[in-house]
Amino acid sequence: MNSENNTNGFEPKIVGFLCNWCAYSGADLAGVSRIKSSPNIRIIRTMCSGRVDPSFILEAFKRGADGVLVAGCHFGDCHYLEGNFKTIRRIEFIKMILNQFGINEKRVRLEWISASEAEKYAKVSFEFTDEIKKLGPLKLFRNERG
Amino acid sequence: MVNTMQHIKIDPITRLEGHGRIDIFLNDEGEVENCYFIVPELRGFEKFVQGRPVEEMPRITTRICGVCPEAHHMASAKACDAVYKVEIPSAAKKLRELLYSVFFCADHTVHFYALGGPDFVVGPDAPKSERNILGLINKVGIEAGKKVIKLRSLAQNIIQTLGGKKIHQVTAIPGGITRGLSEEEREQFAKDLEYFIDFAKFTFKVFDDIVLKNSNYIDLILSDTYTQKTYYMGLVDENNKVNFYDGKVRVIDPEGNEFCKYEPKEYTQHIAEHIESWNYLKYPFLKKIGWKGFVDGIESGIYIATPLSRLNVSEGMATPLAQEEYEKFYQTFTNDHTGKIPVHHTLATHWARIIELMYAAERANELINDPEITSKEIRTIPTEIPTEGVGIVEAPRGTLTHHYITDERGIVQKANLIVGTTNNHAAISMSIKRAAKGLIKKGCEITDATLNMIEMAFRAYDPCFGCATHTLPGQMPIELCVYDADGNMINHKQRY
Amino acid sequence: MAKPKLALYWAASCGGCEITILDIEEKILDVAEFFDIVFWPCAMDFKYSDIESMDDNSIDITLFNGAIRNDENEHIAKLLRRKSKLLIAFGSCASEGCIPGLANLFTKEDIFDFVYKSSPSLEDDSKGIFPVTSTQHTEGETTLPKFWNTVHTLDQIVDVDYYIPGCPPQSFQVAAVILAVIEILKTGKELPPKGSVLGTDSKTCCDECPRVRKEKKIKEFFRPHEIIPKEDECLLDQGILCMGPATRSGCGALCVKANVPCRGCYGPPPNVKDQGAKMISALSSVIDATTPEEIRKILDKIADPIGTLYRFSLAASLLQRKQNDVK
């Protein structure tokens, strides 16, 4: 899998919040099975995708991320039963707010990836990296005067 | 204050609400060559309310000013009612006006005792550390101080009940008011409000004893240094009596003849704004006359909107005790008690303010005893598609206009605010310059007292530069012009 | 023994924080007796030059209200920091940016353009003239402070010792803090840890709200003027967006008692950095939908998400201002 439009050698920094029971295990399986996935994703394991507070996403962008991936269990599979329902609502809401903040909501992506879906994880990781490459680096104004 | 004898800065101006600076330039003779009154602060309300829901405007625009949030709250609510073309229940109107009258009492009290009053009570040339409310209390006695505190305390309590919060009220909403009055509350407030009338009488006496009986102060008030002849503006009811909450805007010329009278929605036909590059704050003027520069008189479009102005444009006060003092006021200054001849002495505004304090106290008493004041019918749900609306009230400092244009969801697309003190901006500049020229003379030493007496010229207007500076200019291009002693430009640089 | 020195200053603010101090009523006389007030432009005649001539650290306490939005605000903030032992961010503007912070949704060009070019009341030849930071008149130069593109909070400019939040801080809280400080200065007791938030409690507004809260399942949002809510029930339960769950307690829940929703003026709850994000989290727990389409449909009914969730805290939020990533 290759990326097109790699102008100026821009390598996106993407933070991936993956839930312990499904998505993280899926990514782990990809690794163990020698299935290549995008090195641009820096993975942070949370116990549930519902643990991902909207402020984590904003904090990731503030600290230099160009994209944020949030991945959890399919509906019905959540280890904590309903955590992923909260996730989908939070992500929709934060995307809407990001737009209002003038940040392209495509920089946030939500996926449901089970523990056995190693291939899916790999595919999503490359797709998302490509998409962020097209969007370009996120340059934020902060603390500028004048 | 930087005293180089060429360029004197009074920085910042004090005993008012908001930011300001006075730059005085002296010529070689030591006399005032020119004087600039500069407002260095702006925040950008008219722009950043774009995108806000119109029903939130009564809660957002209060933050233009924490001294007179009630004024913005009411003007905004009236504009919202107009945007939704909704008629509010009669009880809601009375409740809003009651809140408003109580506020006027509290606000005028603060100005007289804490902001403008100390100049008279303690004396304009008292030491800097005494020219304030604490010095005033020292002079007039702790009992007077306690009376002021009591008035404010009672007023703020009523305001918190009717408005939700003491500062930055929340209850006025398109279609009415969210909180009514119980009979128990009404009874308590009726007792409290009787005190307001006593307090207004007390304040008349303070002013009479300290100012009117002091011939030096009378001379000061009548002096040319503090006299200016402009157009006057204020809200009047259908009998042309002063009304703070509702009515039409009436403007008279310096000779006392009616110049125009308009409904809120017509204000754009009458008011325009002028810009100077050395000031962030704009200068409103009467469109039909035009901007003729910083001059007064019948040919210039400069007008003022202050308690003095409100008394000048009216044909009386709607309540008896205030009317009595109104007649005394005009008799004193014009030898005619009807008010047909306008008073042009800026410092007389302090007296006009107390007359308004009495009217507000009497009006509040009328309203608290109105049988409808405890009604539960206080809200109408708007049903019309929102479009555009204008709301005007008299803020203590002048006529306040809120104008909103919304989309069909009621989201603000454009807002225009002409705020109390802004009306007076040109006149304040002129008053300050006139005072500076009158007080700084060749050979005279310029003391702290001199500079304070220059500041007295603006204090009479009770300016609220928080209100005035609701707008924000943004990026500053720089233009630099260098002149030699003959006034020829010898260097010019620009950066955009 | 010399009285401790107190200074009060306002940057980009509305004056409400000044008035809330007057609202402590007779206690103001205690304050005047205990402290030597050395600077308070609203009520006293001391000028900037008086502050400049003071020794560093000679002011015991400065109560600084107002946001930082131009060079003059910054200059005085830094000046007062040098001259003060304790600098307290007083009120929402200094702590979170408050309403002036909403200007961070626009650029200086946007705002500039509207006020000096497109405003409907500009008529005469001066329309389109933009104010400049330095003007050379025939008599001499006058200046205006440079305005910033972005509103900042006090702690983004200087080191801040304590915060007293609220728009304005409620006078009973202000009185409590001032009297506590007087007590500490008199007895030499220990000050609270640096960075503490004073004049508040450590819960959320919901804790002080008298309305009854039941299970929330929000299917539709209503704007405050669209319905007349029931008096005893939680407003959020009834579909009116109320910032109570994401707002620090301490004000007495005044707005909800007056039948309007909380808008968050006391700032975020303890340990929360971004008030809007916290509210998103809270609302997401109770919105009754599970597909993106249903969710967006419900969210679309919120009239002004960013302006409601970040009404008071935009300048202090993680992103601080609107960005221009989306063309």
Tens of pLDDT, residue by residue over C182-223, are: 999 899 999 999 999 999 999 999 999 999 999 889 999 999
In this predicted model, which residue has the larger pLDDT, A69 or B476?
A69
CB-based contact B170 C260, cutoff 8 Å: yes
Q: What is the mean pLDDT of chain A?
A: 93
Kindly identify which residue of chain B lies nearest to residue C20, measuring between CA atoms.
B167
Predicted confidence band of residue A146 (pLDDT cuts 50, 70, 90): low
CB-based contact A100 C305, cutoff 8 Å: yes
Please count the residue pairs, one from chain A and one from chain C, whose beta carbons lie less than 8 angstroms apart: 116
Check residue B64 and report its DSSP letter: G
Which of B162, B82, B188, A23 lies closest to C257 in space, CA to CA? B162
Q: How far is C55 from chain B (nearest CA, A)?
A: 18
Decide which of 3.40.50.300, 1.10.10.10, 3.40.30.10, 1.10.645.10 is the CATH code for B45-426. Answer: 1.10.645.10
In 3-state terms, chain C is what percent helix, strand and coil (to 5)?
A: 35, 15, 50
Interatomic CA distance for residues B171 and B99, integer angstroms: 10
Task: State whether residue A104 sits within 8 Å of chain C by CB.
Answer: yes
Kindly identify which residue of chain C lies nearest to residue A66, measuring between CA atoms.
C325
Q: Produce one character per residue of C251-287: b if its CB has 16 or more CB atoms within 10 Å, e if not.
A: bbbbbbbbbbbbbbbbbbbeebebbbbbbbbbbbbeb
Task: Quickly list DSSP for B89-106.
Answer: PHHHHHHHHHHHHHHHHH
Which of A93, C297, C105 lies closest to B47 in space, CA to CA? C105
Interatomic CA distance for residues A52 and A94, integer angstroms: 11
Q: Produce one character per residue of B70-96: b if its CB has 16 or more CB atoms within 10 Å, e if not.
A: bbbbbbbbbbbbbbbebebbebbbbbb
Interatomic CA distance for residues B409 and A82, integer angstroms: 35
Name which of C18, C116, C122 is nearest B66 (Cβ-Cβ): C18
For residues C128 and B274, the answer to whether their CB atoms sit within 8 Å is no
Spatial strand order in the sheet of A67-72 = A41-46, A14-19, A67-72, A108-112
Q: Produce one character per residue of B408-428: b if its CB has 16 or more CB atoms within 10 Å, e if not.
A: eebbbebbbbbbbbbbbbbbb
User: Predicted ipTM?
Assistant: 0.96
From first to last of its 496 residues, chain B has per-residue pLDDT tens of 444 458 888 888 888 778 888 999 988 888 898 999 998 888 889 999 999 999 999 999 999 999 999 999 999 999 999 999 999 999 999 999 999 999 999 999 988 988 888 888 888 888 888 888 888 888 888 888 889 989 999 999 999 999 999 999 999 999 999 999 999 999 999 999 999 999 999 999 999 998 999 999 999 899 998 899 999 999 999 999 999 999 999 999 999 999 999 999 999 999 999 999 999 899 999 999 999 999 999 999 999 999 999 999 999 999 999 999 999 999 999 998 888 899 999 999 999 999 999 999 999 999 999 999 999 999 999 999 999 999 999 999 999 999 999 999 999 999 999 998 999 999 999 988 988 888 888 888 888 888 888 888 888 888 877 777 664 332 223 344 444 455 555 445 443 3
Q: How far is C172 from chain A (nearest CA, A)?
A: 33
Interatomic CA distance for residues C166 and C312, integer angstroms: 9
pLDDT of C327: 64
Task: State whether residue A81 sits within 8 Å of chain C by CB.
Answer: no
Task: State whether residue B265 sits within 8 Å of chain C by CB.
Answer: no
Predicted confidence band of residue A6 (pLDDT cuts 50, 70, 90): low
Sign of CA dihedral B207, B213, B218, B219: negative
Chain A residues whose beta carbon lies within 8 Å of the beta carbon of residue C148: 144-146
Interatomic CA distance for residues C72 and C147, integer angstroms: 9
Name which of C272, C299, C309 is nearest A92 (Cβ-Cβ): C299
Task: State whether residue C53 sits within 8 Å of chain A by CB.
Answer: no
Chain B residues whose beta carbon lies within 8 Å of the beta carbon of residue C46: 14, 128
Which of B170, B155, B165, B74 lies closest to B107 in space, CA to CA? B155
Q: How far is C157 from chain A (nearest CA, A)?
A: 9
Q: State percent of chain C over pLDDT 70.
A: 100
Q: What is the mean pLDDT of chain C?
A: 94
CB-based contact B476 C45, cutoff 8 Å: no
Q: How far is B320 from chain C (nearest CA, A)?
A: 31
Q: Produce one character per residue of B338-355: b if its CB has 16 or more CB atoms within 10 Å, e if not.
A: ebeebbbbbbbbbbbbbb
Task: State whether residue B22 sits within 8 Å of chain C by CB.
Answer: no
Q: How far is C177 from chain B (nearest CA, A)?
A: 19
CB-based contact C168 B284, cutoff 8 Å: no
Which of B330, B306, B304 lies closest to B316 in space, CA to CA? B330
Task: State whether residue C202 sits within 8 Å of chain A by CB.
Answer: no
Q: How far apart are the first and last CA of chain A?
A: 45
Name which of A53, A58, A85 is nearest C290 (Cβ-Cβ): A85
Q: Please give the angle made by the CA atoms of B335, B339 and B345, to the nearest 5 degrees.
A: 70
CB-based contact C305 A97, cutoff 8 Å: yes
Interatomic CA distance for residues B449 and B462, integer angstroms: 20
Q: Which residue do the tokens 């938030």 mark?
A: C197
CB-based contact C133 B476, cutoff 8 Å: yes
Name which of C47, C121, C147 is nearest B418 (Cβ-Cβ): C121
3-state secondary structure of B234: strand
CB-based contact A140 C309, cutoff 8 Å: no
Task: State whether residue C276 sits within 8 Å of chain A by CB.
Answer: yes
Amino acid at B13: I
Which of A56, A58, A40, A81 lies closest to A140 in space, CA to CA? A58
Q: Which residues contact C276 (CB under 8 A, 6 or more apart)?
A: A97, C246, C306, C309, C310, C313, C314, C317
For residues A47 and A19, the answer to whether their CB atoms sit within 8 Å is yes
CB-based contact A145 C287, cutoff 8 Å: no
* Optimal mutation site among A95, A99, A100, interface C, most CBs of chain C within 10 A: A100
Q: How far is A90 from chain C (nearest CA, A)?
A: 5
Across the range C296-309, mean pLDDT stands at 96
Report the CATH architecture of C5-99+150-187. Answer: 3-Layer(aba) Sandwich (3.40)
Q: Which chains touch C (3 or more CB pairs under 8 A)?
A: A, B
Q: Number of C-alpha atoms within 13 angstroms, CB side, residue B239?
A: 7
Chain C residues whose beta carbon lies within 8 Å of the beta carbon of residue B69: 14, 16
Chain C residues whose beta carbon lies within 8 Å of the beta carbon of residue A89: 283-285, 287, 289, 295
Is it the case that residue A56 has pLDDT exceeding 70? Answer: yes
Q: How far is A11 from chain C (nearest CA, A)?
A: 17
Omega of the bond prior to C168 within 30 degrees of 0, cis? Answer: yes
Chain B residues whose beta carbon lies within 8 Å of the beta carbon of residue C314: none
Task: State whether residue A51 sits within 8 Å of chain C by CB.
Answer: no
CB-based contact C281 A100, cutoff 8 Å: no
Q: Which residues contact A91 (CB under 8 A, 6 or more apart)?
A: A70, A108, A110
CB-based contact B291 C124, cutoff 8 Å: yes
Q: Tell me the sheet residues that pair with C152.
A: C68
Interatomic CA distance for residues A78 and A17, integer angstroms: 15
Amino acid at A140: L
pLDDT of A7: 56
CB-based contact A88 C319, cutoff 8 Å: no
Name which of B170, B466, B473 is nearest C15 (Cβ-Cβ): B466
Tell me the domain boundaries of chain C. Answer: 5-99+150-187, 107-149, 201-321
Chain B residues whose beta carbon lies within 8 Å of the beta carbon of residue C255: 164-165, 170
Q: Which two tokens stand for residue C76?
A: 């005085």
Task: Quickly list DSSP for chain A.
Answer: ---S--GGG----EEEEEETTTHHHHHHHHHHTT----TTEEEEEES-GGG--HHHHHHHHHTT-SEEEEEEPPTT--TTSSHHHHHHHHHHHHHHHHHHTT--GGGEEEEE--TT-HHHHHHHHHHHHHHHHHH-------S---
Counting every residue written for chain A, the total comes to 146
pLDDT of B473: 30
Omega of the bond prior to B40 within 30 degrees of 0, cis? Answer: no
3-state secondary structure of B110: helix
Residue A145 Cα distances to B473, C14, C106, angstroms: 15, 22, 14
Across the range C306-311, mean pLDDT stands at 98
For residues B305 and B242, the answer to whether their CB atoms sit within 8 Å is no
Interatomic CA distance for residues B334 and B316, integer angstroms: 15
Check residue B262 and report its DSSP letter: E
For residues C152 and C98, the answer to whether their CB atoms sit within 8 Å is no
Task: State whether residue B288 sits within 8 Å of chain C by CB.
Answer: no
3-state secondary structure of B329: helix
Kindly identify which residue of chain C lies nearest to residue B410, measuring between CA atoms.
C303
pLDDT of B150: 93
CB-based contact B271 C99, cutoff 8 Å: no
Q: How far is A97 from chain C (nearest CA, A)?
A: 6
Q: Which chains touch B (3 or more CB pairs under 8 A)?
A: C
Q: How far is C166 from chain B (nearest CA, A)?
A: 11
In this predicted model, which residue has the larger pLDDT, B74 or A8?
B74
Kindly identify which residue of chain C lies nearest to residue B41, measuring between CA atoms.
C12
Name which of C70, C131, C260 is nearest B178 (Cβ-Cβ): C260
Tell me the domain boundaries of chain B. Answer: 2-42+438-495, 45-426
Q: How far is B64 from chain C (nearest CA, A)?
A: 6
Least confident of A88-97, B17-26, B292-301, C91-100: B17-26
Task: State whether residue A61 sits within 8 Å of chain C by CB.
Answer: yes
